Amino acid sequence: MCRRCGEKLCGLDKCPVQRRSYPKGVHGPTSRRRLTGYGIQLLEKQKAKVIYGILERQFRLYVKEATRSHANTSDLLLQLLERRLDNVVYRLGFAKSRSQSRQMVAHGHFTLNGRKVTIPSIQVRVGDMIGIREHSAGKKLFENAKENLAKIELPVWLAFDPETMTAKIISLPVGSEIRPLFDPKAIVEFYSR
């Protein structure tokens, strides 16, 4: 998908788009297809699904929940995607990619408000505390966590305490703070057909 879009979506160090920035296939670097309006909207939706690692049914539920509100639908969709626990763990710098953070949450390495959590799609709220379980703190996965976390620039809506290795959700993420690699308005238009 990274090569198809011509952008680095996976978040990996060795992304295939760095070696070959053209779509795979027999036509290779010579031709790029022109996309229709529908094709552009579909591509934006696929980018968002790949970035956050969500399948179609769950993504459709997020869009449906965002359209229920009278607020800006595209901002609310971004907010719902950013408030997933696996995404918050990724934003905090505990994992190199969202797929790794999803696996870490599913294996039960994190707590949410003092309770063990194994569901990566849980929505965090303002005031929630996220921490590493005591059982997991000594694991090799978190050996160099303090040094790695010092290098990470946290989003404005998250606060991290390096002494206790806990994070707190200060506020809800705002669309201007997120800077996504996709166009959320195109996604809302895609689902409003």
The predicted model gives 101-106 an average pLDDT of 94
The better pLDDT of the pair 72, 21 is held by 72
Share of the chain above pLDDT 90, in %: 47
Domain 2-78+181-191 sits in CATH at 1.10.1050.10
Instruction: Give the tens place of pLDDT for each residue, 137-175.
Output: 888 888 877 777 777 888 899 998 888 889 999 999 887
Q: What is the pLDDT of residues 118-132, one digit of tens each?
A: 999 999 999 999 999
pTM to 2 decimals?
0.86
> Given pLDDT bands bounded at 50, 70 and 90, which one contains residue 32?
low
DSSP E strands, the chain:
110-112, 115-117, 129-132, 158-161, 166-169
The residues spanned by each domain of the chain are 2-78+181-191, 84-171
Class in CATH terms, 84-171 = alpha beta
pLDDT at 137: 83
The pLDDT-based confidence of 52 (bands split at 50, 70, 90) is very high
Average pLDDT over residues 108-113: 94
Q: What is the sign of the dihedral through the CA atoms of 78, 81, 83 and 89?
A: negative
Q: Please report, as a single letter, which amino acid is at residue 190.
A: F
pLDDT at 28: 67
Look at residue 30 in the predicted model and tell me its pLDDT: 67
The token pair at 8 is 């680095």
How far apart CA 66 and CA 80 sit, in angstroms, is 8
Q: What's the confidence (pLDDT) of residue 41?
A: 93
